Chains A and B, each alone.
Chain A
Amino acid sequence: KNQVEQSPQSLIILEGKNCTLQCNYTVSPFSNLRWYKQDTGRGPVSLTIMTFSENTKSNGRYTATLDADTKQSSLHITASQLSDSASYICVVSAPYSGGGADGLTFGKGTHLIIQP
Chain B
Amino acid sequence: NAGVTQTPKFQVLKTGQSMTLQCAQDMNHNSMYWYRQDPGMGLRLIYYSASEGTTDKGEVPNGYNVSRLNKREFSLRLESAAPSQTSVYFCASILVAGGHREQFFGPGTRLTVL
Q: Say yes or no for B51: interface residue by CB 8 A criterion.
A: yes
Distance of B34 from chain A, by nearest CB (Å): 10
- State whether A89 touches B45 (Cβ < 8 A): no
Q: Are B99 and A101 in contact (CB under 8 A)?
A: no
- Which residues of chain B are near A98, meaning CB under 8 Å? 50
Task: Give the residue of B42, B44, B99 whose beta carbon is less than 8 angstroms from that of A107.
Answer: B42
A109 and B108 form a contact (CB under 8 A): no
- A108 and B99 in contact, given A43-B92, A45-B105 (Cβ under 8 angstroms): no
Contacts of B92 in A (CB 8 A): 43
CA distance A51 to B101 in the complex (A): 12
Question: Total number of A-B contacts with CB less than 8 angstroms?
Answer: 62
Contact with A along B13-35 (1 / 0, CB 8 A): 00000000000000000110100
Contact flag A99-B105 (CB < 8 Å), given A31-B100, A108-B40, A109-B42: no
Whole-angstrom CA separation of A42 from B51 in the bound complex: 25
Closest to A107 in B: B42
Q: Let me know if A114 is at the binding interface, CB within 8 A.
A: no
Given the complex, which residues of A lie within 8 Å of B107, measured CB to CB? 41-43
Flag whether A78 is at the interface (Cβ < 8 A): no
Which one of B51, B101, B108 contacts A104 once the chains associate, using CB atoms below 8 Å?
B101
Which residue of chain A is the closest to B42 with respect to CB atoms? A108
Is the CB–CB distance between B106 and A43 below 8 Å? yes
Query: What is the minimal beta-carbon distance from A86 to any residue of chain B, in angstroms?
Result: 13
Chain B facing A: main interface SS: strand
- Contact among B30, B42, B48, B96 for A101, CB-based, below 8 A: B48
Q: Which 7 residue pairs spanning A and B have beta carbons closest together?
A: A43-B105, A99-B50, A108-B42, A101-B48, A99-B31, A106-B43, A44-B105
Residues of B within 8 A of A (CB): 4, 30-31, 33, 40-45, 48, 50-51, 56, 58, 90, 92, 94, 96, 99-103, 105-108
Q: Given contact pairs A43-B107, A89-B42, A96-B100, enumerate 19 new A-B contacts (beta carbons under 8 Å).
A: A31-B99, A42-B108, A44-B43, A45-B105, A46-B102, A46-B103, A49-B102, A93-B101, A96-B96, A99-B30, A99-B94, A99-B96, A100-B48, A100-B50, A101-B48, A104-B101, A106-B42, A106-B44, A108-B40
